[in-house]
Amino acid sequence: MKEHILFIIGLIALTDLSDTISQLILKSSINALDWHIHSLQKALRLVWQLLQSARIWLGFLLSGFSLLIWLFVLSRTDLNLAFSLDSMRYIMIAFASVVFLKEKVGPARWMGIFCVVAGILMVAVS
Write down the pLDDT at residue 8: 92
pLDDT band at 101 (very low <50, low <70, confident <90, very high): very high
Q: So what's the pLDDT on residue 38?
A: 85
pLDDT tens sequence across 34-80: 778 888 988 898 889 899 999 999 999 999 999 999 999 999 999 88
Give this prediction's pTM: 0.83
CB 42 within 8 A of CB 112: no
Whether 88 contacts 12, CB under 8 Å: yes
Q: What is the DSSP string of 82-120?
A: HHHHTTHHHHHHHHHHHHHH-----HHHHHHHHHHHHHH
Whole-number Å distance between alpha carbons of 30 and 44: 15
pLDDT band at 116 (very low <50, low <70, confident <90, very high): confident
pLDDT in tens, 2-33: 778 899 999 999 999 999 999 999 999 998 88
Mean pLDDT of 96-105: 95
- The sign of the torsion formed by the CA atoms of 105, 17, 73, 66 equals positive
Q: Is the pLDDT of residue 1 over 80?
A: no
pLDDT of residue 66: 97
